[in-house]
Amino acid sequence: MFKGNFEFLNFWQIRSVPLIGIDISSSAVKMVELSRNGDRFCVDRYAIELLPREAVLDGNINDFEAVSECVGRVWKKLGTRNKNVAMALPAAAVITKKIIVPAGQSEEDLGFLVETEANQYIPFALDEVNLDFQVIGPAPGNPEEVEVLIAASRKEKVEDRVATAEASGLTAIVMDVEPYASQTAFELIQKQLPNGGRDRTIAIVDIGASLMSINVLRNGQSVYMRDQPFGGNQLTYDIQHFYNLTLDEAETAKRKGGLPDNYEIEILRPFRENLALEVSRAMQFFFTSTPFNEVHHIVLAGGCATIQGLDDTVSNRTQVSTSIANPFAGMELSSRINPRQLATDAPMLLIACGLSLRGFDPT
């Protein structure tokens, strides 16, 4: 680490201790704890608990007490003694910038270059931010240079997340960024694709309660990111208005079922079509914003990805092969895990899985 008038965010530093991945989304707190047996990972525990409405707004913790209490309940539900956790910030809370620098820099010299670049691109005083960087690899077309990714976030954004863990007696070891955590977990999914996904353009589409996040990857590197304001809350509103329910009643009905027989035709099918249209639009934005003109595969994640038939609807609309994210497909499962339930919940756990993986050195 280098010295400066700011603090590291520790986005990418690998910690060789088991970590519980904690994903705090706008609708729920999700935790995953993994272990490793040789070359294979094992799902030891996971738990999900819904958050009160508006406890998290636009990625910001709006009700600290409600969120911290939920974190504590989920941790107790896990039944683990492990208190070391990895957490993540939403992409909107983090400023990232790729820079090209001469290869062979010492960490101190590289840190100085990062600080200089950060002064140009970050619209805050550096003593107000947490900052970190990672050397990605050789610069394209020039082996004498390297590409470095800089990430910075306002300190209060980091401190809010860390404080929710500390309130439950947990210790935040790593702070990541949600798309990069998903990317870490996706490396396990990519192995399931033809030719391991090599030289293919793959879009991870994470559809949460209020936001659809798109991260397009090519050979392990992100080439495009975008958020669109569309998510599962829209389905809740549709149920509420069509059946004249309260918002809480509509949310409960959406999750637990029991709606009238016309729900599939009148509500769910149009929602799937609208969601598929949003994914198609996201792909068009990608094509018009980058040199790419093709996506070879779409991976759906997030709570909405659990909607039955969504992968087929998206595939038909976009004419792109589409699958549902399950990073646990090749993992061993502890005896406390229900395999069928995990398969159902897997798309919601992509970020938490990626965060737990940060406890293992991939080399």
How many domains, the chain? 1
Closest CA to 94 of 134, 62, 66: 134
Number of alpha carbons in the 13 Å side-chain half-sphere of residue 13: 12
Domain-located, residue 145: no
Tell me the per-residue pLDDT of 305-339, one tens digit each, with 9 for 90 and over: 999 999 999 999 999 999 999 999 989 999 999 99
pLDDT > 70? residue 294: yes
* Spatial contact of 240 and 227, defined as CB atoms under 8 Å apart: no
On whether residue 287 sits in a domain, the answer given is yes
Residue 122 vs residue 277, higher pLDDT: 277
Q: Where do we find the tokens 């809480």? A: 248
Q: Is residue 204 part of a domain?
A: yes
User: Residue range 190-213: average pLDDT?
Assistant: 93
Task: Kindly report the pTM of this predicted structure.
Answer: 0.90
The whole domain housing 218 covers: 193-326
- β partners of residue 101: 146
Question: Across residues 207-215, what is the average pLDDT?
Answer: 95
Q: Is 7 helix (H, G, I), strand (E, B) or coil?
A: strand
pLDDT band at 142 (very low <50, low <70, confident <90, very high): confident
Neighbours of 198 (CB within 10 A): 11
Residue 26 maps to a domain: no
Kindly report the CATH number assigned to the domain that includes residue 249.
3.30.420.40
154 pLDDT more than 50: yes
pLDDT of residue 134: 83
**Locate tokens 């047996």: which residue?**
37
Q: What is the pLDDT of residue 7?
A: 43
Task: Give the pLDDT band of residue 361 (cuts 50, 70, 90).
Answer: low
Residue where the block lists tokens 């690899």: 137
CA 98 remoteness from chain centre: 20
In a domain? residue 64: no
Report how far residue 348's alpha carbon sits from residue 344's, in angstroms, rounded to the nearest whole number: 9
Going by C-beta distance under 8 Å and a sequence separation of 6 or more, which residues neighbour residue 7?
A: 129, 130, 131, 155
Beta pairing, strands 95-102 & 28-37: unpaired
Mean pLDDT is lowest, of 15-24, 193-202, 326-335, 350-359, for: 15-24
List 36's β-bridge partners, or say none.
41
For residue 13, name the pLDDT band (cuts at 50, 70, 90).
Answer: low
* In-domain check, residue 244: yes
User: Is residue 203, in this structure, part of any structural domain at all?
Assistant: yes
Distance CA 219, CA 333 (A): 29
Tokens of 3: 């010295």
User: What confidence score (pLDDT) does residue 75 get?
Assistant: 98
